[in-house]
Structure formats: C-alpha cells, structure tokens
C-alpha cells in the first residue's frame, strides 16, 4: 500500500551502514580500541576555528528574526555574492551570485540538479567506482543510470567506452573528482579530453550534454603538484554540485551549493528549473545560519594535514605489505585491490583481524575494497601490522 521502492530504500541498510553498526557491536564486545573501522567517510578533524567563531559573532550581531528567518529560496544575496566572488578569484571562471543556488549539502545539490534536468527517457552516465547514492538520485529523478568502467590502472575514465555509450538519450555525465572511493583526481588533460568529447557529441546530437561535477572533496588534495581543475573552465554546459561537509568538517549541518555555468546554452532556464526542483523537493532554503558561516569560511579548510599524514602512512604501509593500491591524490579514501577474486570474502578475512573495509562492489568496482582514512592516525599505525598479517595469509 505504501510505496514499495521507498520501503526498499529505507529498509535495506547500505553495506557501509551495516559495517558501521557491526563496528559498534564489536566495540562493545572487545573494546573500541581493538576495532579498526575504516568504513565511514565522516570527517575526523574539527571544523576550522573560524566556524564556531563566526557562529558566536553572528549570534551577537544579527537580530534573531533576521538571523534565523527565511532567506530567499536560492539563498541570501550577500552569501551568494561572496561565494561567487571567491569562486571567480580562485578558479578564474566568472560567476555571479545569480548563478548560485544554496543547498542542504551535496546530496541535495545532486537531487535538485537531476530533477531540474530530467525528462522521460533521459540517461546519465557515470564511471565506476562511484558513490552508491548516485544510482538512487538518478533513478529517483526518473532517469536511467548508466555505469561505465574506468581504466583499472589509473581509475580514470575510459574515453572510448564513453564515446560509445553516449546516445541521443544522454542528458549528462556525472563526475566526482577527487573521487569517492578511489581518491583519484581528474587532471587538466583528462578534463580537457572529457570536455572535447562532450562538446563533439553535443554538437553531433544538437543538444547540450551536461557535465555534472560533484565536488565535495575539491579542497582535499595533498600534494603540491595536484591541481583540481575547475570543469567550468573547460566546458560550458557544466553544473557544479558542491558541499561544505568535508572541506569545513560540517557534514551534519547540510550546506552546499549548485553553480550553473552562466555560459551554458540554457543557463537562465536551467537556473530557474533548479529553483523549481528545489521547491518541488521541499527545500525551502538552505539552513540560514550555516549559509552565513559558509560565506564567511568559504575557501578555508579544516586541518587536512592530518589526512595527508594518514594517506601517506596508509598508502606506504599497504603497498609495502604487497597490496595493490590506487594512489589517492585526494578525498580521504584509498582504493585497494582485494587479494582474492571475491572481495566480499577478502573483507570477511580482514574482519578476522578486526579490520573493517568496504567492498568495492558497492561502488561498482568488483574485486576492490575502500579504506577510509578519516580516522585517528594512531589507529592506522596500530592497524598496519594487522594488514601485514592479512597480506601474509594471501602469500603477498
């Protein structure tokens, strides 16, 4: 009688959530310090001090009725102008506050954008490995979700496969860089190649193919030479879905934005459709206080040196054990090849050492596992000898 699809979505826990619950139970049995939970992508470092300082200042300076009252549906004008100016300065792409729509985080940015774009029969393409909720969001918008494999050595898009997969039904391509779960960043060459192919195909079919760029990890990169190119600088038909969840360690506060490239063919209409979709989905406005916090702290990051330290420690430790790992340029995940064909069995084996990993199959990549390193550094230090034992079990 109720909606069966929604029931299924709500009653079936995600694997990540299963492991998270298992970790809690196991911690009660053997002590929290003996469980090595690498499953969850929850920021492990505090928000920058400026976040709480900004909140205190706002509470003091802004009258309650303005501070906690409705903002415009698309977000406060000052907030949008500030963020747009920063964007232009940081990425060299002209953006105004009127191209920005403030949201309740990345998931909202995506559901709203997909809803704004989708007509019956449309398809969105993404590359495995991908964040599992993409399937939920795309299908809920009424579109077909098309998954392509990446090059297994680099976890970068296979452009030949992409060229073959694009049809007149392709409404957009959804990318996530730095990537969850692989940590890989699309460099300038990759972005240019993607842009060229989408431009060619758009022209061929006489309709824009949108590039939807999900960028919650944009600021989380660790090497000087790693640049995260702004897709709008390469391709006009771009919508950026951003969130402050990871950069400012504000995952629970739900604040982010959608940026519609003003150079997109239908920029104005698309922005209006974004406003309409936000309205239809019940997003009245993004949380008012945290809109102001986001504007004040835009471009800052939490202390990501911790993630860098963790990344280096984990990547070096695991490769030394003999595991095959994708070098993670950014985000806070490491993608590792399972030491046997069946990654689920490998995860079970790891569990014997209290190492909790996530099966890559959930991300569309069979034979791999995700190791989230947004944890205490000390946990990684103590886990490495256990990973070594695991490697030895497989004769690595």
Site for a copy of itself in 57-116 (CB under 8 A): 59, 63-65, 67-71, 104-105, 107-112, 115-116
Distance in Å, CB of 158 to a copy of itself, minimum: 27
Q: Which residues of 252-271 are buried (b: 16+ CB within 10 A; e: fewer)?
A: ebbbbbbbbbbebeebeebb
**Could you say whether residue 358 binds a copy of itself (CB under 8 A)?**
no
Distance in Å, CB of 52 to a copy of itself, minimum: 5
Which of 36, 124, 283, 333 is in the footprint of a copy of itself by CB under 8 A? 283
Contacts by residues 48-56 (CB-CB < 8 Å, ≥ 24 positions apart): 48/248, 48/249, 48/297, 48/300, 48/301, 48/302, 48/303, 50/296, 50/297, 50/300, 51/248, 51/250, 51/293, 51/297, 54/292, 54/293, 54/296, 54/297, 55/289, 55/293
Task: Name the DSSP letter for residue 93.
Answer: -
Longest dimension (CA), the chain: 66
Distance in Å, CB of 139 to a copy of itself, minimum: 8
Nearer to a copy of itself, 137 or 387 (CB): 137
With residues binned 3-state (H G I as helix, E B as strand, rest as coil), the percentages for the chain, rounded to 5, are: 45, 15, 40
- Phi first, then psi, for residue 77 (nearest 5°) are -60, -45
Considering only residues 244 to 263 of the shown chain, the ones binding a copy of itself according to CB under 8 A are: 249-254
Distance in Å, CB of 153 to a copy of itself, minimum: 33
Distance in Å, CB of 250 to a copy of itself, minimum: 5
**Could you say whether residue 168 binds a copy of itself (CB under 8 A)?**
no
Distance in Å, CB of 274 to a copy of itself, minimum: 7
Nearer to a copy of itself, 18 or 151 (CB): 18
**Could you say whether residue 140 binds a copy of itself (CB under 8 A)?**
yes
Which of 35, 79, 91, 118 is in the footprint of a copy of itself by CB under 8 A? 118
Nearer to a copy of itself, 172 or 229 (CB): 172
Distance in Å, CB of 319 to a copy of itself, minimum: 29
Q: Which residues of 366-381 are buried (b: 16+ CB within 10 A; e: fewer)?
A: ebbbbbbbbbeeebbe
Considering only residues 192 to 211 of the shown chain, the ones binding a copy of itself according to CB under 8 A are: 207-208
Which of 98, 133, 158, 366 is in the footprint of a copy of itself by CB under 8 A? 133
- Helices of type H across 62-174: 64-67, 77-91, 106-117, 133-140, 159-165
What is the β-pairing status of strands 325-326 and 333-337? antiparallel
Considering only residues 9 to 68 of the shown chain, the ones binding a copy of itself according to CB under 8 A are: 9-11, 42-47, 51-52, 55-56, 59, 63-65, 67-68
Considering only residues 210 to 249 of the shown chain, the ones binding a copy of itself according to CB under 8 A are: 249
């Amino acid at each position: 009688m109720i909606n069966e699809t929604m029931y299924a979505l709500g009653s079936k826990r995600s694997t990540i959530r299963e492991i998270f619950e298992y970790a809690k139970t196991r911690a009660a049995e053997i002590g929290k310090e003996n469980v090595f939970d690498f499953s969850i992508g929850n920021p492990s470092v505090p928000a920058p001090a400026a976040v709480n300082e900004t909140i205190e200042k706002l509470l003091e300076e802004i009258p309650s009725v303005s501070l906690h009252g409705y903002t415009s549906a698309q977000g406060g004008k000052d907030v949008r102008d500030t963020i747009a100016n920063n964007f232009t300065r940081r990425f060299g792409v002209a953006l105004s506050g009127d191209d920005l729509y403030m949201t309740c985080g990345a998931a909202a940015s995506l559901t709203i954008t997909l809803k704004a774009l989708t007509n019956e029969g449309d398809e969105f393409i993404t590359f495995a490995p991908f964040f599992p909720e993409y399937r939920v969001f795309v299908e809920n918008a009424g579109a077909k979700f098309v998954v392509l494999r990446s090059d297994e050595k680099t976890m970068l898009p296979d452009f030949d496969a992409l060229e073959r997969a694009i049809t007149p039904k392709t409404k957009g391509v959804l990318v996530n860089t730095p990537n969850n779960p692989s940590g890989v960043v699309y460099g300038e060459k990759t972005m240019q190649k993607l842009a060229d192919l989408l431009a060619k195909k758009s022209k061929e079919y006489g309709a824009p193919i949108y590039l939807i760029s999900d960028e919650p990890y944009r600021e989380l990169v660790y090497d000087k030479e790693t640049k995260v190119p702004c897709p709008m600088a390469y391709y006009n038909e771009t919508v950026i879905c951003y969130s402050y969840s990871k950069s400012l360690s504000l995952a629970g506060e739900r604040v982010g934005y959608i940026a519609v490239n003003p150079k997109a063919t239908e920029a104005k209409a698309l922005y209006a459709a974004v406003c309409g979709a936000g309205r239809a989905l019940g997003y009245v406005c993004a949380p008012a206080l945290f809109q102001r916090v986001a504007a004040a702290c835009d471009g800052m990051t939490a202390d990501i040196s911790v993630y860098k330290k963790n990344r280096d420690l984990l990547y070096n430790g695991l490769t030394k054990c003999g595991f095959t790992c994708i070098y993670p340029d950014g985000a806070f995940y490491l993608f590792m090849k399972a030491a046997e064909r069946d990654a689920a069995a490998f995860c079970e084996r790891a569990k014997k050492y209290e190492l909790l990993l996530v099966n890559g199959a959930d991300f569309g990549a069979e034979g791999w596992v995700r190791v989230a390193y947004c944890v205490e550094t000390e946990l990684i230090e103590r886990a490495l000898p256990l990973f070594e034992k695991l490697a030895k079990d497989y004769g690595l």
